[in-house]
Amino acid sequence: MSSITSLEHSSTIELSCDLISRKSVTPEDKGCQKLMCERLRALDFEIHELPFGEVLNFWAIRGEKGPLFAFLGHTDVVPSGPEKDWLYPPYEPTIADGLLYGRGAADMKGSLAAMITATEAFVKVQPNHDFRLAFLITSDEEGPAANGTTKVVDWLTDRGEKIDYCLVGEPSSSNSVGDVIKNGRRGSLGCELKVIGKQGHVAYPHLALNPIHELTRALAEISTQTWDNGNDFFPATSFQVSNISAGTGATNVIPGEANAIFNFRFSTETTDIVLKSRVEAILKKHCSNYETLWHLSGQPFLTSSGELVEAVQHAISQVCNIDTELSTAGGTSDGRFVAPTGAQVVELGPVNATIHKVNECVAVKDLDRLHQIYLEALMALNSSGHSKD
């Protein structure tokens, strides 16, 4: 067992450990980006540090011509939870039985390390690569995501810069690295609903208006709707209630209001506008008085085919000797901010079985394979002959 790295480990594992040892709980960065920028400056990348509010971001770019490929990732991690519940301290990277333990090992400091070391290897053999190579890194992915990737994309747009290919390092794999890549994501639409009634005594319901009754009737109808049937790439749009609250604490009082929080994960077969309209129609049918506060976290996006998907599939086949599965399942990622610009977007990273959990870990061999996959993908794009000039 090794509590940190040693000479027997690859540069990818060493850098992963260095990043994990920095307690960069969102939106903190704790020097992770500085470390990455030092490695990229040594490769003649042009670095732009882009802080917005309390969030640190950077854009690094190398090359003058050809289509623009960008690695996209985040240095922030979720809190560890009770450290006493971990086998090893979450911010002291530990290698045991072939696994690297530590908060961020899988989500996504291992990916960041593989991106950097793959780029170093690529530039060494292809110093005059025929596409522009960039990094977009934020410390605001696990948090509100308001001052991170979305702000950097706005900054790029203002400069007339457009990403053509974007590889996101999110942990996409299910059982072994490369077995699944995300070539799209569902949209996410949330709502905070307040149904307003009239408080009164339960023995005199005619003198009150029970908002719980109205709320539950509305939710019952909403939950039985068919919103769409999905398509070849997306499952049908789903609706889930995550929270319901009401009551004064007394058993004999009809409350004055009832609240619910719900969410849609929606496919490209519908839109947030359509979903809102249909829900509002049902609420008007059942609720005398209500208020809604809608939150659109991201639109659905899809890269069904193209040079990036082909390059990543080829790389996985070369390194892992498997055919990867294309998937749009799971939550959202910062790819949702890049895809609307017209970029091809693919997510590829380690196995996601332990992300956000106690004892988050990743197989050491998987990170070394991820390095090789990233390198092979860069090589495939470089030799593809495709040009967007």
* Catalytic residue numbers, as ranges: 76, 141
**364-382 and 11-20 are packed helices; what angle lies between their axes, rounded to 10 degrees?**
110
Bridge partners of residue 99, in order along the sequence: 96, 363
Q: In whole angstroms, what is the distance from residue 233 CA to residue 251 CA?
A: 49
Q: In whole angstroms, what is the distance from residue 297 CA to residue 68 CA?
A: 26
In Å, how far are 77, 137, 378, 386 from 125, measured between CA atoms?
A: 33, 24, 11, 20
Query: For residue 339, how many other CB atoms are within 10 A of its CB?
Result: 22
CB 362, CB 99: distance < 8 Å = yes
CB 283, CB 218: distance < 8 Å = yes
Q: Which residues contact 288 (CB under 8 A, 6 or more apart)?
A: 196, 197, 209, 214
CB 212, CB 193: distance < 8 Å = no
